[in-house]
C-alpha cells in the first residue's frame, strides 16, 4: 500500500477550515446527546429539566441561559474546548482559555511537567497534546527516538502515533506490533468517542492506511498479558529487545483547554535487561537537554539536536 510522504503531508490543524455557516446551539446539543447515546428524556433527567425544554433547545425554539449551557455540558461530559463552542453558539463568550504551554500564565504547569519528565529518568517520558504531538521529552525518550526513527519523521510536529506505526518509524522494530497497534487504535477510538474531535478522526483514518505486521494474523492478546491493565511495548533496539510498560498522567481539575488536553506518557522497564539498557543510555546521553521541546524554533533549541536530524 503506498503511503504519502511525511514531507508532503500537512500537519493536522486544530480544526478544519469552516466550509459552511456556524452550527446552531441546538445542532451542537443534539450531536453531543447522540454521541453519548442518550435520548431527550434521559438527558432531561440528567439535567433535571423537562423533555420539552430539551426539545425546544435542540430545535431552536428557545435559547438556553449561560448556566443552562454549562449544566448541559457538565451532564454530557463535554471537553472544555467544545464547551467554548457551545457557549459561543448560544451567544455567550467562551469561558475556558487556551494558551500555549510556554505562556507565562502556565509557568507553574510547565514546571510541573518538566519535573515529572526529569524525575522519570533514566526511563523515557513524553508530554503530549490532544493530537498525540510531543510537547516535551526527557533525555531517555530523545535517545530512543533519534536512534531508531527516520529523520524526516522527527521534524515538528512529532506525532507519537505516527512514530509508532509508520513503516519508517518504530513499527518494523516492534516485536508485538499487531497487539501494540490494536492497543493504540483502541485508545484513539476511546478518545474520539469522548471528544468527537474531527482532527483525531482524520488521524485515525491516516494510521489505518499504514501497513500492519507481515505474515499471518496474530492473536491480539498475548500469553501472560495483563489484559485491561497494561500492554507491553516490546521493542528491538540497537541494544537488544526492550520491554516497556506505560502509564498516563493528566491534570486532575483543569480550567484551561491546554491543561485538560495535556498528558504525560511515562514508560517503565518490564524486565531487568531493559532497566540496565536504560541506565546505560542515560550515562551516554548526559549532554542532552534535560527536557526538550521539539516544537520550538531551531534557534530556540527546538526540533531535534542537529547531530540527530
List own/partner pairs for 74-77 with CB under 8 A and 24 or more apart.
75/43, 75/46, 75/47, 76/32, 76/33, 76/35, 76/36, 76/38, 76/43, 76/46, 77/36, 77/194
With cut-offs at 50, 70 and 90, classify the pLDDT of residue 9: very low
Give the pLDDT of residue 217.
58
19-65 per-position pLDDT tens digit? 456 889 999 999 999 999 999 999 999 999 999 999 999 999 999 99
- Is 285's pLDDT higher than 80? no
220-277 per-position pLDDT tens digit? 555 545 555 678 899 999 899 999 999 998 887 778 899 999 999 999 999 999 999 9
Q: Which residue has the higher pLDDT, 145 or 206?
A: 206
The torsion angle over the Cα atoms of residues 303, 170, 286 and 306, rounded to 10 degrees, is: -30
Average pLDDT over residues 70-78: 96
Q: How far is CA 26 from CA 53, 59, 73, in A?
A: 11, 6, 13
Give the pLDDT of residue 152.
85
Q: Which residue has the higher pLDDT, 207 or 148?
A: 207
pTM of the shown model: 0.78
Average pLDDT score, the chain: 84
Give the pLDDT of residue 290.
66
Q: Which residue has the higher pLDDT, 62 or 306?
A: 62
Give the pLDDT of residue 7.
34
How many other CB atoms are there within 10 angstroms of residue 239's CB atom?
A: 15
- Is 128's pLDDT higher than 60? yes
Give the pLDDT of residue 251.
83
Q: Which residue has the higher pLDDT, 109 or 9?
A: 109
- Is 8's pLDDT higher than 80? no
Q: Which residue has the higher pLDDT, 17 or 291?
A: 291
Q: Are strands 125-128 and 240-250 parallel, antiparallel or unpaired?
A: unpaired
Give the pLDDT of residue 244.
94
**Polymer length of the chain:** 309
Lowest mean pLDDT among 161-170, 192-201, 223-232: 223-232
Give the pLDDT of residue 306.
37
How many other CB atoms are there within 10 angstroms of residue 3's CB atom?
A: 13
Give the pLDDT of residue 146.
85
Question: Which residues lie below 8 Å from residue 169, measured CB to CB, with a gap of 6+?
Answer: 149, 150, 153, 162, 163
Lowest mean pLDDT among 144-148, 186-190, 206-210: 144-148
Paired strand residues for 128: 134, 263
Exposure of 206 in the CB half-sphere (CA atoms within 13 A): 21
Per-residue cell: 209: 492506511
With cut-offs at 50, 70 and 90, classify the pLDDT of residue 297: very low
Give the pLDDT of residue 10.
36
Amino acid at each position: 500500500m503506498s503511503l504519502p510522504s511525511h514531507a508532503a503531508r500537512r500537519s493536522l490543524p486544530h480544526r478544519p477550515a469552516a466550509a459552511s455557516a456556524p452550527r446552531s446551539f441546538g445542532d451542537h446539543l443534539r450531536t453531543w446527546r447522540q454521541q453519548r447515546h442518550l435520548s431527550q428524556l434521559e438527558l432531561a433527567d440528567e439535567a433535571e429539566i423537562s423533555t420539552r425544554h430539551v426539545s425546544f433547545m435542540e430545535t431552536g425554539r428557545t435559547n438556553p441561559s449561560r448556566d443552562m449551557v454549562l449544566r448541559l455540558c457538565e451532564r454530557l461530559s463535554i471537553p472544555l474546548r467544545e464547551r467554548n463552542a457551545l457557549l459561543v453558539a448560544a451567544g455567550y463568550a467562551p469561558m475556558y482559555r487556551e494558551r500555549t504551554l510556554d505562556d507565562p500564565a502556565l509557568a507553574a504547569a510547565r514546571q510541573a511537567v518538566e519535573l515529572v519528565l526529569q524525575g522519570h529518568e533514566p526511563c523515557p517520558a513524553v508530554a503530549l497534546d490532544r493530537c498525540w504531538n510531543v510537547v516535551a521529552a526527557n533525555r531517555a525518550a530523545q535517545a530512543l527516538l533519534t536512534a531508531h526513527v527516520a529523520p524526516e519523521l522527527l521534524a515538528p510536529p512529532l506525532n507519537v502515533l505516527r512514530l509508532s506505526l509508520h513503516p519508517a518509524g518504530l513499527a518494523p522494530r516492534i516485536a508485538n506490533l499487531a497487539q501494540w497497534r490494536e492497543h493504540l487504535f483502541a485508545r484513539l477510538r476511546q478518545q474520539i468517542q469522548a471528544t468527537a474531535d474531527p482532527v483525531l478522526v482524520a488521524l485515525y483514518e491516516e494510521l489505518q492506511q499504514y501497513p500492519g505486521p507481515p505474515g499471518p494474523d496474530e492473536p491480539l492478546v498475548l500469553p501472560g498479558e495483563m489484559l485491561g491493565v497494561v500492554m507491553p511495548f516490546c521493542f528491538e533496539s540497537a541494544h537488544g529487545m526492550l520491554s516497556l510498560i506505560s502509564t498516563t498522567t493528566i491534570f486532575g481539575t483543569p480550567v484551561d483547554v491546554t491543561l485538560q488536553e495535556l498528558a504525560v506518557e511515562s514508560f517503565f522497564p518490564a524486565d531487568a535487561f531493559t532497566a540496565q539498557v536504560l541506565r546505560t543510555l542515560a550515562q551516554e546521553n548526559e549532554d542532552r537537554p534535560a527536557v526538550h521541546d521539539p516544537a520550538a524554533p531551531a534557534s530556540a533549541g527546538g526540533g531535534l539536536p542537529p547531530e540527530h536530524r
